[in-house]
Amino acid sequence: MASFFLSQIQGLDRLTSDEVLVAQNVFFALIALVMIFAALRMVTTENIVHAALYLVIVLAGAAGMFILLGAEFVAVTQILVYIGAIIVLFLFGIMLTKGSFGTEEGEFRERNQMAVLVGVLIVAVTSGSFIDSFRDAELSREAPSTTAEIGDTIFGQFIIPFEAISVLLLAALIGSVVIARRDL
């Protein structure tokens, strides 16, 4: 059994397009299972800090998926932005405002039905649009765009949207400071 997997892994560089990437699929399945479990626990757990920590596992899994697809830049961005910044802000906010330890029973019960509705709608709309746009498309096995190419594209072709987003974020930043500091 082990020698079978080893021969598969060593044979990866000789793959032709109709062969299946065994190692990649095995890791995809493993990561996907962990992600599904963590996502379910995240919405069912009673403890809000645990929910944030389960979200870390889901986001790390997404980063792993990007690495499996060879998109290392997106994977690293996922870690830097979502795990390193957004989750830290979540935890920070929870710990600064709650100040209590342990579970909060049934705090979010009353909004359950609404959440289920929104969740089903999001899944339906996104999966529908994805299936519709990429129905017969096949991803190429060639190396996806490199970091340098991404940089060239952002600062060449998409420079106007990029600058627009920067200005928007700056405005949001200043706005939050103005709202928080009423004495200004």
Partner 1 sequence: MTIFNLAIELAYWQQTIIRSVLGLVAVLLPAGTLVYLYLFKMMSFMQSRLGPMEAGPYGSLQLLAEVGKFLQKEDLFPKAADRVVFKAAPFVVLASTFLLVLVLPAGPDAWFINIDTGVFLALAVSSISVIGILMAGWGSASKYSLIGGLRAAGQLVAYELPLVLAVMGVVIQAGTLNVQEIVFAQANGEIFGWGGIGNPFIITQFLGFMIFLVAIQAELTQPPFDMPVAESEIVTGYLTEYTGMRFLLFFIGEFATAGIFSALAATFFLGGWYIPGLDPTDNLFNLIGPLVLVGKMLLVSFLIFWFRFTYPRFREDQLQQLAWKVLVPLSLVNIVATGILKVAF
Rounded Cα–Cα distance for residues 176 and 155 (Å): 28
Could you say which of 139, 148, 180, 184 contacts partner 1 (CB under 8 A)? 148
Could you say which of 21, 27, 51, 72 contacts partner 1 (CB under 8 A)? 72
Stretch in the footprint of partner 1 (CB under 8 A) among 34-42, 90-98, 124-132, 171-179 = 90-98
Rounded Cα–Cα distance for residues 146 and 121 (Å): 35
Long-range CB pairs of 89-93, under 8 A, 24+ apart, other chains included: 90/52, 90/55, 91/49, 91/52
| 76 counts as binding partner 1 under rule CB under 8 A | yes
Q: Are 42 and 87 within 8 A, CB to CB?
A: no
Which helix (H) or strand (E) element contains residue 147? helix 147-155
Could you say which of 6, 26, 121, 165 contacts partner 1 (CB under 8 A)? 6
Stretch in the footprint of partner 1 (CB under 8 A) among 28-36, 79-87, 123-131, 157-165 = 79-87
Q: CB 85 → partner 1: shortest distance, Å?
A: 7
- Token pair for residue 135? 């129905």
Task: Using the structure block, give the residue that is written with the tokens 């529908």.
Answer: 128
Q: CB 160 → partner 1: shortest distance, Å?
A: 20
Determine the Cα angle at 82 with ends 166 and 148, to 5°. 60
Report the residue number, 27 or 47, with the smaller CB distance to partner 1. 47
Rounded Cα–Cα distance for residues 154 and 144 (Å): 16
| 80 counts as binding partner 1 under rule CB under 8 A | yes
Q: Which residues in this chain contact partner 1 in the complex, by CB under 8 A?
A: 6, 9-10, 47, 49-50, 53, 56, 72-73, 76-77, 79-80, 83-85, 87-88, 91-92, 95-96, 99, 101-102, 146-148
